[in-house]
A = this chain, B = another copy of it.
Amino acid sequence: MSLKYAVLAALLEGEASGYELSKVFDVSFANFWASTPQQLYRELERLTRDGLVEARVVRQERRPDKRMFTLTEAGREDLRAFAAEPPRRPTAIRDELLIKIQAMDDADPEATRALVEERMAWARGKLARYARVRERLLDGRSEERYLREADRIGPYLTLLGGIAFEEENLRWCERVLAALRQRTPRG
């Protein structure tokens, strides 16, 4: 699967530990490739075995040891080849809330409303985190300047995708709430 390439792409930003990668996959990468720490550690194992990344153990004073991973030239090459060919599989989404919305009836509109509100809170939290990541990337520069001058614009573009996605999500939630209100004007 392409978790492999997602990990390699994350390591383009520089050396990282499994733990750090799991943070990245929880924030910016979450938006296009979901995965758990366990998956990452397994994948890193495999990538090391295949010579696409290199690990070095860093001994720490007040914390557990960690392994820091770096891309090898072979890993960089493999990723480059991947990035140039068309996707093999179409975008897959798994969103439980949408199943619930699909299945809802007029029996319990309050429950549905609560679920949608929860999603909105979650989306707002994500947008706040994305905003921080964006500030860090831009580092004072304007977007226009960044896109012209930055070394690599990929991370910024995927971040914009994440932001747009969550904003759209929020707008959709508003519409759902409006539709629910129309049905049960006195809830």
Contact = CB atoms under 8 A, between A and B. Distances in A.
A83 B114 CA distance: 12
A103 B154 contact: yes
A88 interface: yes
Contacts of A89: 94, 96
A35 to B, nearest CB: 9
A87 interface: yes
Interface string A16-29: 00000000000001
A46 interface: no
B111 A84 contact: yes
A83 B100 contact: yes
A105 B175 CA distance: 39
Contacts of A105: 80, 152, 154
A91 B91 contact: no
Contacts of A30: 90, 93
A160 B114 CA distance: 20
A8 interface: yes
A9 interface: yes
Given A34-B90, A83-B104, A102-B158, 7 more contacts: A31-B98, A32-B95, A32-B98, A34-B92, A34-B94, A84-B111, A160-B175
Interface of A: 2, 5-6, 8-9, 12, 29-34, 79-80, 82-84, 86-105, 107-108, 111-112, 114-115, 118, 122, 147-148, 152-155, 157-158, 160-161, 164-165, 168, 171-172, 175-176, 179, 182-183
